[in-house]
């Protein structure tokens, strides 16, 4: 590695970082800038109804709004299953200013379900204000129209003409708030970029003065061993497909066949609940197969190369790393059938689908971490290879791959939230199938899962690697 | 003063050997619960110190289990010493077991690149030396054939050619001079001599005292992990022969 190489590597990393954060800002779009408001008013459960609304009745309720951008208001009426004629007017006021109003015919009002008021543009600038919901009618008598309400909610009053009742009407209001994340996005990525550049600059200066430092050593190692790694990866591929007629074509076929089998088995159960089920399934299969293959191959990477490790000095992390890279190449190949499936099955591929690769990258790093850990463990406890087969089975069923995440009962959902694969695969699917970015939190979670896994794996590996040669 | 290429200081190597082989989680667990998990410590090297100057050839002699191979592995970096330090200056080519990285499914050509990469050669270097390797091993007709079809002699020749094509600064050799037929043995022996005379610093383990006397400048005599004697070849070999004679 020369001085010029090092400089180029540093500049390339900073340039790639800049390109990524800028493109991320634009790809992320509104999902980065806004998030669903935490102050949405939820629909209360009704325990009574108001008096019948007749011509001249006026129902009002004041309430405090905390939503920054109001998108929708919903209110629930009952007609006691009568047809009814006339109409009702629902309005939302800010003091004396009318914000939004809707006049709806009684026959269009669904029985005990939501009537929506949706402004053309989200209502802004109302945060912290007291808004008034007004309902008036021209319905005459005996139409049986009333608003569902919940009596006895402290701090809230419903006025029917002039009579006041403690309680609240059954209405809900939802919107979105600006995400604080986006306000600080440029500061945050700018700071990280500056730190990165400073660290590189310092280590470059150190290198020029001939002092050792970790970053230069790591880049030097990559330079020195990249030929070896490429040879090991080529070896993996060649010996994997040697003597098979279809050869590398299996990397295309395998995920497609797995998907087909699972599709035939599970489609009747889950098809209805899921948008574009075959693509949902295939993306899950591709991701999980990668995880399974990568960790299983890493597991035996040290013990399988025992002869080499005890006879020649090579940094031992090269072996799990090379296996992870060959699995990643396999993953890249299996993205071809995935893309084809998207095109054939009518998933509109949007630019946001590029964000898919962020989660794939997290998955790869996560798998490398697990792989490092397992390969080290395998040297000392050979039982782990059998244990891991069972564990990956459990892991597969615990991850929504062939079933939608929604079928997990709400009270067990928290278990899934601790499953990193659920996050990687789930978010990757959101990008690919729905074409929108997940919320910013998802990026941070996935990054953390990957980083923690890599740290634990690398630490275990480093601590134990000197003993490998003794136990192999 | 000539530069030291290898510095070994107070190196001790302990192996932990359990009484029974404990290779699985269950076994370790059950023995640990029974309170029987004990390890015998085996001292493979005990406070070994020596230096080797640039261009010199050092022979290691001693009985089986004296610690010769352990010393070579420590200097190659394959093992880490329990205590003490080892410093080496320059690139090391260990010829401990030839063809350790061969993959039987791959062709001879693919194995040249794979094994070369394992030994730390660069791609450009291998490309420039490719013909030399193939010709030296005398396997040009079989080079595109998977090496599982090779005879053991062909494989050994190929392995030797790859390992010896480089001009190393430190060469570590463990009894590998006899590969192939008589003609190739002679060829490889000459290549070894070439490498050694080319300025390489050599560590050499052999049970063949004649070869040691022929090739080495200095000799270390190890016994049960301890240095019995370290000095010029003639002196050490004479003492060694004497000791063997008395015991034998």
Contacts of A29 (CB under 8 A, 6+ apart): A352, A436, A437
Give A371 to chain B, closest Cα distance, Å.
19
Whole-number CA gyration radius for chain A: 30
Tell me how far apart the alpha carbons of residues B245 and B239 are, in angstroms, rounded to a whole number: 10
Query: Is B158 within 8 Å of B147 (Cβ atoms)?
Result: yes
Q: Are A371 and A271 in the same domain?
A: yes
Q: Are A19 and A60 in the same domain?
A: no
Tell me how far apart the alpha carbons of residues A127 and B64 are, in angstroms, rounded to a whole number: 86
Strand partners of residue B41:
B16
Question: Does the structure show a pLDDT above 90 at A452?
Answer: yes
Strand partners of residue A250:
none
Give the domain-ending residue among A178, A213, A236: A178
Task: Identify the closest residue of chain B to A304 by CA–CA distance.
Answer: B101
Q: Quick check: is A239 in a domain?
A: no
Question: Does the structure show a pLDDT above 60 at B74?
Answer: yes
Per CB distance under 8 Å, which residues of A are interface residues toward B? 224, 227-228, 230-232, 234-235, 238-239, 242-243, 307-314, 381-384, 387, 466, 469-470
Tell me how far apart the alpha carbons of residues A92 and A60 are, in angstroms, rounded to a whole number: 10
Instruction: Burial-class residue A28 by CB neighbours within 10 Å (0-12, 13-18, 19+).
Output: buried
Q: Quick check: is A351 in a domain?
A: yes
Tell me how far apart the alpha carbons of residues B161 and A447 are, in angstroms, rounded to a whole number: 47
Give the domain-ending residue among A143, A178, A213: A178
Strands A58-64 and A130-137: antiparallel
Residue A273: its pLDDT value, please? 66
Q: Quick check: is A236 in a domain?
A: no
Question: Count of residues for chain A?
Answer: 472
Nearest by CB to residue B105, choosing from A234, A239, A384, is A239
Give A212 to chain B, closest Cα distance, Å.
16
Contacts of B156 (CB under 8 A, 6+ apart): B98, B99, B179, B180
Q: Are A416 and A274 in the same domain?
A: yes
Give the domain-ending residue among A226, A254, A287: A226
The predicted-structure confidence for A84-99, as pLDDT tens digits, reads as follows 778 888 999 988 888 8
Q: Quick check: is A234 in a domain?
A: no
Segments forming the whole domain that contains residue A72: 48-178
- From chain A, pick out residues whose CB is under 8 angstroms from the CB of B26: 383
Largest CA distance in chain B: 61
Query: Is B182 within 8 Å of B144 (Cβ atoms)?
Result: no
Question: Does the structure show a pLDDT above 60 at B37?
Answer: no
Q: How many CA atoms lie within 13 A of B53 on its CB side?
A: 8
pLDDT band of A368, cuts 50, 70, 90: very high
The predicted-structure confidence for B104-129, as pLDDT tens digits, reads as follows 888 999 999 998 888 888 889 999 99
Q: Quick check: is A369 in a domain?
A: yes
Mean pLDDT lowest for which of A154-163, A201-210, A242-251, B153-162? A242-251
Determine, for residues A311 and B78 on separate chains, whether the beta-carbon distance falls below 8 Å: yes
**Which two tokens mark A198?**
């400073």
Query: What's the average model confidence in pLDDT over B41-63?
Result: 88
Give B49 to chain A, closest Cα distance, Å.
21
Q: Are A164 and A277 in the same domain?
A: no
Question: Coil, helix or strand for B101?
Answer: coil
CATH of the domain at A71: 2.60.120.820
Determine, for residues A313 and B113 on separate chains, whether the beta-carbon distance falls below 8 Å: no
Q: Which domains does chain B have, with CATH numbers?
A: 4-91+205-247 (3.40.50.300), 97-165 (no CATH)
Percent of chain B as helix, strand, coil, to the nearest 5: 40, 30, 30
Q: Are A346 and A381 in the same domain?
A: yes
Question: Does the structure show a pLDDT above 70 at B23?
Answer: no
- From chain B, pick out residues whose CB is under 8 angstroms from the CB of A228: 117-118, 120
Residue A162: its pLDDT value, please? 80
Task: Identify the closest residue of chain A to B123 by CA–CA distance.
Answer: A227
Query: What's the average model confidence in pLDDT over A314-325?
Result: 92
Q: Are A260 and A117 in the same domain?
A: no
Question: Does the structure show a pLDDT above 80 at B178?
Answer: no
Question: Does the structure show a pLDDT above 50 at B248?
Answer: no
- Alpha-helical segments (H) within A101-213: 180-208
Number of independent structural domains in chain A: 3
pLDDT band of A105, cuts 50, 70, 90: confident
The predicted-structure confidence for A35-57, as pLDDT tens digits, reads as follows 778 888 888 888 888 888 888 88
Strand partners of residue A136:
A58, A89
Q: For the sheet containing B201-205, what is the strand order?
A: B92-95, B170-174, B201-205, B57-61, B218-223, B226-232
Q: Are A198 and A285 in the same domain?
A: no
Percent of chain A at pLDDT > 90 equals 28
Nearest by CB to residue B101, choosing from A308, A313, A470, is A308
Tell me how far apart the alpha carbons of residues A62 and A158 are, in angstroms, rounded to a whole number: 8
Tell me how far apart the alpha carbons of residues B100 and B114 are, in angstroms, rounded to a whole number: 11
Strand partners of residue A137:
A88
Q: Are A288 and A398 in the same domain?
A: yes
Q: Are A425 and A439 in the same domain?
A: yes
**Which two tokens mark A148?**
């569902």
Strand partners of residue A41:
A173
The predicted-structure confidence for A135-182, as pLDDT tens digits, reads as follows 888 777 777 788 888 888 888 888 888 888 888 888 989 888 887 777
Task: Identify the closest residue of chain A to B29 by CA–CA distance.
Answer: A381
Task: Identify the closest residue of chain A to B25 by CA–CA distance.
Answer: A381
Which runs of E-coded beta strand occur in B159-225?
170-174, 201-205, 218-223
Which runs of E-coded beta strand occur in B54-142?
57-61, 83-88, 92-95
Q: Quick check: is A320 in a domain?
A: yes
Tell me how far apart the alpha carbons of residues B139 and B108 are, in angstroms, rounded to a whole number: 9
Question: Coil, helix or strand for A105?
Answer: strand
Query: What's the average model confidence in pLDDT over A324-330?
Result: 93
Q: If you average pLDDT over every residue of chain A, what do you get?
A: 87
Q: Quick check: is A232 in a domain?
A: no
| Residue found by looking up tokens 């690697």 in the block | A465
**Which two tokens mark A66?**
């905390």
Residue A297: its pLDDT value, please? 94
Contacts of B165 (CB under 8 A, 6+ apart): B121, B129, B132, B133, B136
- From chain A, pick out residues whose CB is under 8 angstroms from the CB of B146: 242
Strand partners of residue B218:
B58, B232
Question: Does the structure show a pLDDT above 60 at B19?
Answer: no
- Alpha-helical segments (H) within A271-383: 277-299, 306-309, 318-344, 356-380
Q: Are A278 and A261 in the same domain?
A: yes
How many beta-carbon pairs under 8 angstroms link A with B? 77
- What is the residue-wise DSSP string for B24-74? SHHHHHHHHHHT---EEEEEEEEEEEEEEETT-EEEEE-STTSSHHHHHHH
Q: Are A171 and A183 in the same domain?
A: no
pLDDT band of A332, cuts 50, 70, 90: very high
Q: Are A309 and A432 in the same domain?
A: yes
Determine, for residues B122 and A227 on separate chains, whether the beta-carbon distance falls below 8 Å: yes
Largest CA distance in chain A: 97
- What is the residue-wise DSSP string for A1-23? --HHHHHHHHHHHHHHHHHHHHH
Nearest by CB to residue B94, choosing from A313, A381, A384, is A313
Q: Quick check: is A42 in a domain?
A: no
């Amino acid at each position: 590695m020369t001085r010029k190489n090092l400089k180029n590597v540093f500049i390339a990393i900073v340039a790639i970082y800049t390109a990524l954060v800028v493109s991320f800002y634009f790809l992320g779009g509104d999902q980065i800038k806004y998030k669903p408001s935490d102050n949405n008013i939820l629909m209360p459960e009704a325990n009574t109804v108001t008096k019948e609304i007749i011509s001249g009745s006026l129902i009002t309720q004041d309430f405090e709004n905390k939503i920054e951008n109001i998108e929708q208001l919903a209110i629930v009426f009952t007609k006691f299953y009568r047809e009814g004629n006339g109409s009702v007017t629902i309005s939302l006021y800010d003091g004396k200013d009318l914000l939004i109003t809707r006049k709806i015919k009684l026959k269009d009002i669904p029985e005990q379900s939501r009537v929506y008021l949706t402004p053309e543009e989200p209502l802004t600038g109302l945060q912290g204000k007291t808004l008034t919901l007004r309902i008036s009618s021209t319905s005459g008598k005996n139409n049986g129209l009333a608003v569902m309400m919940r009596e006895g909610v402290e701090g809230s009053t419903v006025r029917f003409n002039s009579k006041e009742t403690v309680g609240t009407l059954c209405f809900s209001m939802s919107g979105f708030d600006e995400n604080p994340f986006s306000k600080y996005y440029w500061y945050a990525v700018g700071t990280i970029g500056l730190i990165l550049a400073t660290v590189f600059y310092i280590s470059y200066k150190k290198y020029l003065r001939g002092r050792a430092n970790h970053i230069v050593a790591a880049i030097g190692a990559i330079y020195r061993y990249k030929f070896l790694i490429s040879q090991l990866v080529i070896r993996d591929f060649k010996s994997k497909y040697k003597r098979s007629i279809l050869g590398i074509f299996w990397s295309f076929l395998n995920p497609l066949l797995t998907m087909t089998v699972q599709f035939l088995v599970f489609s009747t159960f889950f098809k209805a609940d899921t948008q574009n089920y075959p693509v949902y399934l295939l993306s899950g299969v591709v991701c999980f197969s990668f995880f399974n293959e990568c960790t299983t191959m890493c597991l035996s990477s040290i013990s399988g190369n025992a002869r080499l490790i005890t006879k020649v000095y090579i940094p031992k992390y090269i072996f799990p790393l090379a296996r992870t890279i060959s699995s990643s190449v396999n993953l890249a190949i299996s993205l071809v059938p995935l893309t084809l499936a998207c095109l054939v099955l009518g998933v509109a591929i949007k630019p946001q689908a590029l964000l898919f690769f962020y989660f794939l990258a997290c998955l790869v790093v996560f798998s490398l971490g697990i792989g490092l850990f397992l390969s080290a463990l395998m040297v000392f406890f050979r039982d782990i290879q059998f244990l891991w087969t069972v564990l990956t089975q459990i892991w597969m069923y615990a991850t929504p791959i062939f079933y939608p995440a929604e079928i997990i009962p709400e009270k067990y959902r928290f278990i899934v939230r601790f499953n990193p694969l659920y996050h990687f695969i789930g978010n990757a699917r959101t990008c690919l199938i729905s074409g929108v970015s997940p919320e910013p939190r998802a990026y941070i979670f996935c990054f953390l899962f990957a980083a923690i896994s890599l740290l634990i794996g690398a630490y275990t590996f480093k601590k134990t690697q000197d003993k490998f040669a003794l136990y192999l | 003063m000539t530069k030291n290429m290898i510095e070994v200081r107070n190196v001790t190597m302990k192996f932990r050997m359990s009484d029974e082989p404990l290779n699985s989680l269950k076994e370790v667990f059950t023995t640990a619960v029974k309170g029987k998990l004990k390890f015998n410590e085996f001292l493979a090297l005990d406070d070994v110190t020596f230096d080797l100057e640039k261009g010199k050839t050092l022979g290691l002699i001693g009985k089986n289990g004296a610690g010769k191979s352990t010393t070579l592995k420590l200097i190659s970096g394959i093992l880490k010493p329990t205590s003490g330090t080892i410093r080496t200056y320059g690139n090391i080519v260990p010829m401990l077991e030839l063809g350790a990285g061969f993959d039987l499914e791959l062709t001879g050509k693919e194995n040249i690149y794979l094994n070369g990469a394992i030994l730390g050669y660069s791609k450009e270097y291998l490309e420039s030396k490719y013909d030399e390797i193939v010709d030296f091993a005398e396997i040009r007709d079989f080079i595109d054939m998977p090496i599982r079809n090779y005879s053991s002699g062909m494989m050994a020749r190929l392995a030797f050619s790859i390992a010896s094509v480089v001009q190393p600064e430190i060469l570590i050799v463990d009894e590998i001079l006899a590969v192939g037929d008589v003609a190739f043995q002679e060829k490889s022996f000459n290549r070894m001599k070439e490498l050694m005379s080319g300025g390489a610093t050599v560590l050499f383990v052999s049970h063949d005292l004649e070869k040691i006397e022929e090739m080495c400048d200095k000799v270390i005599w190890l016994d049960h992990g301890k240095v019995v004697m370290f000095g010029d070849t003639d002196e050490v070999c004479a003492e060694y022969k004497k000791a063997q004679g008395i015991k034998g």
